[in-house]
Every structure is written in C-alpha cells, then in structure tokens.
Amino acid sequence: MNPYNYLYVAALLFTIGAVGVVVRRNAIVVFMCVELMLNAANLTLVTFARINGTLEGQVVAFFTMVVAACEVVVGLAIIVAIYRSRRSASVDDASLLKR
C-alpha cells in the first residue's frame, strides 16, 4: 500500500482537529481535537520513519505519546477544576485573562 496515503489521512485528521479547536466551544471537545492533531503528527512521524526506513520517527512518536498522556492528565484536571467553579465547560466563558 502506498505509504503516502497515511500522510493524506494524517493531513485530514490534523485539519479536522484544527477546525475543531477553532469552532467548538466545549472544552472537552476542543481537548479531543488537540489530541487529534497530536496523533496526526504522530502518524506523520511514523509514516516518514517507514518511508525512510529509519527508527528515529518512531522513537519520537513514543515521546509524543508520553508527553500527550501527561498533558491529558493536567488538561483534564484543569477542565474539571474550571467546571467545578464555574459550572460551565465552555472555553469562551474562561476569558478572564484578557487585557
């Protein structure tokens, strides 16, 4: 199978993720879209590793997964904390840091 197809899939996933982050208000969904973009990048790394026949890309993909796992923990904790205090998971409501 042509390995470039994986790249197309990755691009598609990344686009879905990016659009999701911009247009959705729900913090959980935005968060999942961020994960989609991360995984699109992972997929690209692995694909290029395959194309070039080297291991580096795959190794970096593992790093990304580990970092993503940590980030999920922190991110979800923040979302839960915000939800508890404000009774809302909308990212537009948490706009207290402007100017």
Partner 1 sequence: MTTSTSLIYLIALPLAGAAILLLAGRRADKWGHLLGTAMSAGSFAVGLYQLSLMLDRPTEERAVGQKLFTWISVGSFNVDAGLLLDQLSICFVLLITGVGTLIHIYSISYMSHDENRRRFFAYLNLFIASMLLLVLGDSYLNLYVGWEGVGLASYLLIGFWNQKPAYATASKKAFVMNRIGDMGLSFAIMIAFASFGSVSFSGVEEASHHASEAALTAIGIMLLIAAAGKSAQFPLQAWLGDAMAGPTPVSALIHAATMVTAGVYLIVRSNFIFDAAPIAQLLVVIVGAITLIFGAIVGTAKDDIKKALAASTMSQIGYMILGAGLGPAGYAYAIMHLLTHGFFKAGMFLGAGSVMHGMNDEVNMRRYGALRKFMPITFITFGLGYLAIIGVPPFAGFYSKDLIIETAFNAGGFKGILLGSTALFGAAITAFYMTRVMVLTFTSPKRWEEDQHPHESPILMWIPMAILAIGSVTTGFLFTRGDALKNWLKPVFGDHGGHSEEHLFEPIVVSAMAVTAVLIGVGIALAKYQFSEVDAEAPQNVSIFTRIARKDLMQDSVNESLFMRPGQALTRLLVKTDENVVDGAVRLVGRTAVGAGSELRKTQTGFARSYAALILIGAIALIAGIWVVTQ
The residues of the shown chain that bind partner 1, judged by CB under 8 A, are 18, 21-23, 25, 30, 91-92, 94-99
57-62, long-range: CB < 8 A, 24+ apart? none
Residue number, 2 or 95, with CB nearest to partner 1: 95
Minimum Å gap between C-beta 67 and partner 1 is: 18
**Smallest gap from residue 18 Cβ to partner 1 (A):** 5
Q: Which residues of 6-29 are buried (b: 16+ CB within 10 A; e: fewer)?
A: bbeebeebbeebeebbeebeebee
Shortest distance, position 2 Cβ to partner 1, whole Å: 23
